[in-house]
């Protein structure tokens, strides 16, 4: 009887040891990049993807404005868009990599018919972006994404003000 209890106890201890190692291995695998899934909410992911797409579009349009605009003010505005949106895009890419969120990478083909058309588009686009960034800053669930949205919304507000000012200078 005593031998049966010892054998049963050893079996249970062995079983529990194997179970603990198995569960520990699964937990460790989930922490590795290959097993890592994103903890970012669907709404935060959507915001990140839209922000990345919009940021790439702003850079592409800004480059075109630097090259093709007639007005020096519009060229200067385009240059500012390239600088600021490239910086924001890089920051967003870093956050996305940390959160394991895949962002769009496709460059945009852009064009417009006049400096005024470009500036009208910039005012409209930055008004829309400002609303989206402020909403994410207020309602987002991921603290890093919220901080990005809050910090970037200040820059978007500056862009909107500058776009309106630049548009006002055009004839």
CB atoms within 10 A of CB 126: 24
- pLDDT the model gives residue 84: 97
In the chain, domain spans: 1-36, 39-169
- pLDDT the model gives residue 1: 53
Which CATH architecture fits 39-169?
Up-down Bundle (1.20)
Q: What is the DSSP string of 149-161?
A: HHHHHHHHHHHHH
- pLDDT the model gives residue 38: 64
- pLDDT the model gives residue 35: 43
- pLDDT the model gives residue 106: 80
Ramachandran class of 71: left when φ > 0, alpha when ψ lies in -120 to 50, beta otherwise: beta
| CA separation for the pair 96, 101 (Å, rounded) | 5
CA atoms within 13 A on the CB side of 162: 16
pTM of the model: 0.76
| CA separation for the pair 34, 90 (Å, rounded) | 23
Structural tokens at position 49? 């993807």
Tens of each residue's pLDDT in the chain, 171 residues: 555 455 444 544 444 444 444 544 444 333 333 444 567 999 999 999 999 999 999 999 999 999 999 999 999 999 999 999 999 999 999 999 999 999 998 877 888 889 999 999 999 999 999 999 999 999 999 999 999 999 999 999 999 999 999 999 997
Nearest to 58 by CA among 22, 92, 28: 92
- pLDDT the model gives residue 10: 54
Q: How far is CA 112 from CA 33, 65, 72, 121, 163, in A?
A: 42, 9, 17, 9, 16
Nearest to 110 by CA among 56, 66, 74, 57: 57
- pLDDT the model gives residue 116: 95
């Amino acid at each position: 009887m005593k031998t049966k209890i010892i054998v049963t106890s050893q079996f249970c201890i062995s079983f529990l040891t194997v179970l603990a190692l198995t569960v520990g291995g699964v937990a460790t695998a989930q922490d590795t990049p290959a097993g890592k899934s994103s903890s970012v909410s669907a709404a935060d992911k959507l915001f990140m993807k839209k922000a990345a797409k919009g940021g790439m579009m702003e850079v592409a349009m800004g480059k075109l404005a630097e090259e093709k605009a007639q007005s020096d003010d519009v060229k200067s505005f385009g240059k500012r868009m390239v600088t600021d949106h490239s910086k924001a895009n890089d920051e967003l890419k870093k956050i996305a990599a940390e959160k394991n969120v895949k962002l769009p990478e496709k460059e945009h083909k852009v064009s417009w018919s006049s400096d005024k058309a470009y500036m009208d588009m910039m005012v409209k686009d930055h008004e829309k972006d400002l609303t989206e960034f402020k909403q994410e800053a207020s309602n987002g669930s991921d603290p890093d994404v919220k901080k990005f949205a809050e910090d970037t919304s200040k820059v978007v507000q500056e862009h909107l003000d500058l776009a309106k000012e630049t548009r006002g200078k055009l004839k």
